[in-house]
Each structure stands twice: as structure tokens, then as C-alpha cells.
Amino acid sequence: MKKLLIASVLIAAGTSAYAADTGTYVFGNLGASTNQWTLKDGAASRAGVSSTKVDSDDATKGMAEIGVGKRINDNFAVEGSYLRNGDAVPLNGAGKLDYDSFRAAALGIIPVNDKFEVYGKVSANYLHSSFTSSNPALSSGKDDNFSLGLGVGAAYKLNKQVSLRAEYETLGDIKHKNITDTAPVSVLKAGVAYMF
């Protein structure tokens, strides 16, 4: 029993030592962004638009993200990143809504073994939106707002420096003055991280 306990402690220590590689890393992601936004009632009335919600077939566009992170210990990391939506999302009869975001996030990490880990993510997002009107009753313009997001992800370590990552996140709602306050953004992405 004592030998088994000692062996278990040594194995756990060895796994922890690998998982505890701390330091600064950079990462890049590519994926899909979904923003099925809804035109405000007042704007819809002015524009004479009857269908006020973006069609699901038009809501998903490409996206890209670059960032830097700091692995604090086995179970915690922080990240900062810039995310760019690939193309504006159109609503027929109204116009197109585009966005990008500067982001800060905290990651709670669970190492599964020496190669694979899963994590949860909480983010603060500065969403900058741009509306391009296709209707004379609506004005084009730019706006910004802060929102909170949640996500889950997984990473697979190819070696001590390079990891492959996959994530699903919600970024909260875009709130664009006089146009929409119901514009939920979600992203599904995959990428690579490099630890220095």
C-alpha cells in the first residue's frame, strides 16, 4: 500500500511538472463567427423592414484572432487578443453590421494528461461595431460597447513549445445605437499556440 501511494505521488508529480510549464505564449486562431442580430423595433418601423432578424444562413462569417498569453501555473492563465470578423452580416432591407474586438480573458485549466488539457474561459470584450445602411431611413455609423463572454476549449501539446487549440466562445451582445441591442456573437475556432 505504501509503495502504491509513493508511486502515485511520483506519477502525479511528474505529470504536474510537465503541465506546470509556465511562461509567455503567443497564439493565432481561425474559425467562424456567428452574429444573428435583430434590428430594433423603432429602426425597423422607420425603414419599413418586416423581417427584423438576420437569417441564420447569412449570420456566419469567417474570423481571425491573434493574441498573447501568460501561463501562471497548472490551472490558470491570462490572455489578451484582437479578434476580427471576416465580413459584415447583412439584414435585407436594412444594411450590414460588422465588428472587431479587443479582448482580455482568464482561463481555468484542467490538465488531463501530459499532452491534453481542457479549460473554461471568462472574457471581457471591447466590441467595436460598424453599421453600413442600405436604407435611406437608417444612418450608417460606428459604435462600441463592453460585454462579458464565456467559453470552453481544449489544447493538445505537440511538444513543450507548440500546442494545437480548439475553442467555442460567446462574446456577448453588440449594442449599436439606434440599430440593435440584440446581436449575440459566438465564435468556433481552432489555432496554434507557441510558448517561449
Q: Check if CATH label 2.40.160.20 holds for domain 2-195.
A: yes
C-alpha distance from residue 19 to each of 15, 112, 147, 157, 173 (Å): 6, 9, 31, 10, 35
- For residue 185, the cross-strand partners are 35, 172
Give the integer Cα–Cα distance in Å for 185 and 180. Answer: 13
Residue closest to 105 by CA, chosen among 170, 194, 159, 161: 170
pTM higher than 0.85: no
What's the Cα-to-Cα distance from 186 to each of 31, 61, 137, 180, rounded to whole Å? Answer: 11, 11, 29, 16
* pLDDT tens digits, one per residue of 32-79: 999 999 999 989 998 898 888 898 888 999 999 999 999 999 999 999
**pLDDT of 76-122, one tens digit each?**
999 999 999 988 899 988 999 999 999 999 999 999 999 999 999 99
Please report, for the chain, the start and end positions of each structural domain, with discontinuous segments joined by +.
Answer: 2-195
